[in-house]
Amino acid sequence: MRTLLTLYRKEIRAFFLSPFGWVVLAFVAIMQGISLSTSMKALGDAPIRESLVYITFHTPNFWFYFLFIFPLITMRLFAEEERTGTLETLLTAPVRTWQLVSSKFLAAFSFYLLLWIPALVHFQLFGTLTDIAAPFTLGSLLGAAVIIALMGFFFTAVGCLASAMTSSQIIAGILTIGLLVIHYFLGYVPVIWGESFRASGIFHYLSCQEHLQFFTKGLIDSRPIVYYSTMAIFTLFLTHLVVDFRRWKQ
Amino acid sequence: MIHVDHLTKRFGRHAAVEEISFDVGSGEVVGFLGPNGAGKTTTLRMLTGYLPPSAGAASVAGFDIFRQSLQARRRIGYLPESVPLYRDMRVREYLTFRARIKGLTGSVLNRRIEEVIDQCGLQAVRRKMIKTLSKGFRQRTGLADALVQDPELLILDEPTNGLDPNQIRAIRHLIKRLGEKHTILISTHILSEVEMLCDKIIIIDAGRIKAADTPSNLVSQMRAAGRITLELKGPADDAARALDGLDQVRKVSHDLSHDGWEHFSVLVESGADERARIAQLCRDRDWPLRSIYRHEATLEDVFVELTRKD
């Protein structure tokens, strides 16, 4: 446990002791700000039935910046250690592979959660700045928080896997964004091909757009919770195998 | 301390290390010698648990390197060849991190870190970023990391690679001092280093062990193909034939003629010293003999003899 904590601390520090983490934080905060101001403009233009939280998470720029967060925060994790050779010093120290994998994953995931603090502040700012109570309920905010955490849990794991598979950060990043974009478009399959084929239910089950839609309305569904957590754990298990396997083949 | 039994590593069809066996006793300083690509680093990586062996077994301090990898790794301080470090950390911070993952805590941790910083001469750079350090200081930082948990066994992969002569001396001096208390397995292709530091030498080439002995034994065995050079005055052809006729002579070559003196070099059998007989021969034939000299084998001769390809 102590080893895990030491490794975790080292990974977290790596985010904050280089300009890199701050650049990502600034990029995400700006995009969240744009989302909020776009949705405030929409609310001002015409009456809308949905809440502020719902609209903010359904602005056109949301998926753009959201999916790009993951390659940015994960591509470095294993690829860099592999390239500089520090993986060798880690794996020849009394460190178990699962400790290494989970510390890196947990660090990236915690950093990801931190990225949403500006969004929370934004929603609070609405009330302070406009003197009108912010038009959303606690339920929709909670739902949004849950789905953002769940998607982040799985997608960060995907990034870890991609980073463990190569010693090039660029390739790891491209692989991550590629996988995430494919996953994203799987949700559009029923929209494009219609509901007439029998497998369309699966695509609804996978659709992160739909999940986001329900959760930001405050409808917390147990199926996505199971889906994202099992997929994340499975992907981390694969990552563990890849890191271990590399010691086998070389 | 180390027991290696028919250890083999194959990469695809290529066998990097083939069925090597050796033992390293407690407190010994052993040089692991071989040309580039001989399989030194692969062997060390297997011993440290980074690469699993394709066949065979090895143990460190009684722990199997594969099945009880964690226990074995706790007892090893390893300095990889390229000295990988985190560029963005400061020296003391890096050592603290490494000491923690090796299981040191509290006052022991601080004491050990101060000790290795002193031992490796890192006082002046303890607060510096690793990326600003010179190669010599990086090497010492890597060595300090290998030492920090006070391991029973130190495995150093080419520790003086790429350093300037002063730094090499400093590192050697440090290793020599460490050898008084630790078991050390040191890989290198610098022969003088081994001669200075090691109690025992293992020479490996193309994945196989060619020799394993003390430096002085290796050298004395190598008197094997000892070489004698001599200068005499007389007919070159006759002299060559006569020398070749001697019992223990393997090969005679006529090097040059200068001012009427004929220079020969004579290769003799293992352990044989033919100087007296050659002198006798010259006296019998009335050939004036100006000089006769037997070349002592050096470790370099041993190394070249064992690893050359022709």
Burial B235-257 (b: 16+ CB within 10 A, else e): eeeebbebbeebeebeebeeeee
Q: In this predicted structure, what is the pLDDT of residue A250?
A: 44
CA–CA distance from B104 to each of A1, A104, B96 (Å)? Answer: 13, 21, 9
> Which DSSP letter does residue B90 get?
B
Q: Tell me the ipTM for this assembly.
A: 0.86
What confidence tier does B153 reach under pLDDT thresholds 50, 70, 90? very high
- Alpha helices by DSSP H, chain A: 2-16, 19-45, 52-56, 62-74, 76-84, 86-92, 97-114, 117-130, 138-165, 169-186, 189-193, 200-206, 208-216, 222-249
* Cβ–Cβ pairs < 8 A, chains A and B: 61
Most confident of A19-33, A127-141, B7-21: A19-33
| pLDDT digit string, tens, across residues A73-118 | 999 999 999 999 899 999 899 999 999 999 999 999 999 999 999 9
Q: Please say if the pLDDT value at position B265 is more than 70.
A: yes
Is the Cβ pair B100, A88 closer than 8 Å? Answer: no
| pLDDT digit string, tens, across residues B173-206 | 888 888 888 899 999 877 778 888 888 889 888 8
Distance from C-alpha of B116 to C-alpha of B104, rounded to nearest angstrom: 14
| pLDDT digit string, tens, across residues B45-79 | 989 988 888 888 899 988 988 888 888 999 999 99
CA angle A25, A102, A24 (to 5 degrees): 10
Distance from C-alpha of B274 to C-alpha of B282, rounded to nearest angstrom: 12
| Cβ contact B169:B192 at 8 Å | no
| Chain A residues within 8 A of B73 when measuring between CB atoms | 92-94
Tell me how far apart the 2 most distant CA atoms of chain B are, in Å.
84
Q: Please say if the pLDDT value at position A249 is more than 80.
A: no
Q: Which of A32-36, A210-214, B28-32, B277-281 has the lowest mean pLDDT?
A: B277-281
Q: Say if A248 is an interface residue toward chain B (CB within 8 Å).
A: yes
What confidence tier does B310 reach under pLDDT thresholds 50, 70, 90? low
Is the Cβ pair A92, B78 closer than 8 Å? Answer: yes
Burial B44-60 (b: 16+ CB within 10 A, else e): bbbbbbbbbbbebebbb
Task: Choose, out of B101, B138, B161, the residue to mutate when testing the contact with A (most A CBs < 10 Å).
Answer: B101
Distance from C-alpha of B149 to C-alpha of B129, rounded to nearest angstrom: 22
Q: Which of B11, B76, B88 minimises the CB distance to A17?
A: B88
Domain ranges of chain A: 2-249
Nearest CA in chain A to B72: A94
Checking DSSP bridges between strand B200-205 and strand B227-232, what pairing results, if any?
A: unpaired
φ and ψ at residue B126, rounded to 5 degrees: -60, -30
Q: In this predicted structure, what is the pLDDT of residue B301?
A: 72
| Chain A residues within 8 A of B85 when measuring between CB atoms | 86, 89
Q: Please say if the pLDDT value at position A20 is more than 70.
A: yes
| Chain B residues within 8 A of A16 when measuring between CB atoms | none
**Domains of chain B: residue spans and CATH:** 2-221 (3.40.50.300), 224-307 (3.30.70.260)
| Chain A residues within 8 A of B87 when measuring between CB atoms | 84
| Cβ contact B19:B7 at 8 Å | yes
